[in-house]
Amino acid sequence: MLESAELFLLSLLATLSPYLIVTISLNLEYGYAGVPNFGKTLSVAGGAFMAGVVPGRLLAYLFGIGQSDYINNNSQIISTINTDLVTNPALSMEIFIVTLIVAALFGALLGLLVAYPVSRLRADYLGMTFLAAGQVILVIGSNYPPLVGGTLGVSVPEVFAFISTFSILGLLPGEMRNVFAIAMMSTVALLVFLYAHRLTHSPLGRLLRAIRDDENSALVLGKDAQRNRITVIIFASAIASLAGALYAMYTANVFSTTYSRTIWTFWPWVMVILGGAANNLGVVAGTFIFVAVRQTISFYQDFFTPILPFNVVWLDTLLLGLALLIILLYRPDGLISEKPIKTRRTSGHAHGKGDTGPSPK
């Protein structure tokens, strides 16, 4: 059985992993490409909705119960599916991977649909367009029950349930399941970080910063700013959708109200600003600080309640708001400011001693 400190650590990682994925994707858009995406909830909710739509219906069809009304009989169908998944780890992991792929593709499609027609807009209008698009998908999710059950939500198949049949370190079945699910989320978050680090240290990363800093100069050099801006939005949207799908499979349910603008748009913005935009390590630091403070207050609220003159639920908001004000006033670049990037050399090109790589195409 897990101790209190271990439960706190698991709770921290369970929240940190999906937020890391979202903030890294936002950093690609805003930090490196200068795209003010105020609608991150669009791709996050899109990924979660795919987790609510695809695995349950697909497994219901495979197990021969697809003729039932999936939404109205959701509890019974998912219960039957989970019974079979417990003894079928191979199928569980296949469904897990398929769901992530579908979520990423759907997120990329959402990014393309929003970015393509409005990519020439000024930054402020572009940000408002993303904000409106994010609200649209929440309205659809809440008011169109055939998608993810409307306001009542839907259950998601327990793709991690098979691990509860194993007994390691004396963990209870539910604890085994949670540890494994968090390990899978953390692994995806790490892969996303490594991918973003490699991308931003490539010639493309240098090009994105050039477009962000002076688009006209990039245009003069023959670079297609609009196409590259759309490309980074598509990639970032696909990445953020992974967070939504992972969180939905971890909680084993999808409620459209869970993916609000405050939680999945404004909080990630605070994390990026706190840590430092255009710096992947800074974003990781900002995300960790934000999540750690909130989780500490939530987990140990009994300790804070007697010493506070107000309700403890407001403590994290006050502390984080104060920290953000201090950062903006005295360190506007964040805790870890943007650093010059040395792009990788490419074989077959002759460079001078001080050259850091080939010019981006």
Q: What is the pLDDT of residues 16-55, one digit of tens each?
A: 999 999 999 999 999 999 999 999 999 999 999 999 999 9
The secondary structure of 206-234 as a DSSP string is HHHHHHHH-HHHHHHTT--HHHHHHHHHH
Stretch 142-169: mean pLDDT: 90
Tokens of 209: 């910063």
Provide the domain limits for residue 29: 16-259
**CA dist 81 to 25, 160, 178, 230, Å?**
33, 12, 19, 39
- Tell me if 65 is assigned to some domain: yes
Q: How far apart are the first and last CA of the chain?
A: 55
Q: Which of 13-17, 180-184, 194-198, 330-334 has the lowest mean pLDDT?
A: 330-334
CB 294 within 8 A of CB 312: no
- In the predicted structure, residue 195 carries a pLDDT above the cut 50: yes
Q: Between these two residues, 1 and 311, which has the higher pLDDT value? A: 311
Place of tokens 């991690």: 160
- Tell me if 251 is assigned to some domain: yes
- Tell me if 275 is assigned to some domain: no
Place of tokens 């950093």: 27
Stretch 214-241: mean pLDDT: 90
Count of domains for the chain: 1
Tokens of 204: 């493309």
- Tell me if 292 is assigned to some domain: no
* pLDDT, position 356: 46
Please give the model's pTM, rounded to 2 decimal places. 0.90
Rg of the chain, C-alpha, whole Å: 22
Place of tokens 């509890």: 75
* pLDDT, position 361: 44
Q: What is the pLDDT of residues 118-139, one digit of tens each?
A: 877 777 788 899 999 999 999 9
Q: Between these two residues, 145 and 321, which has the higher pLDDT value? A: 145
- Tell me if 92 is assigned to some domain: yes
* pLDDT, position 338: 86
Distance separating alpha carbons of residues 347 and 252, to the nearest angstrom: 47
Distance separating alpha carbons of residues 300 and 355, to the nearest angstrom: 52
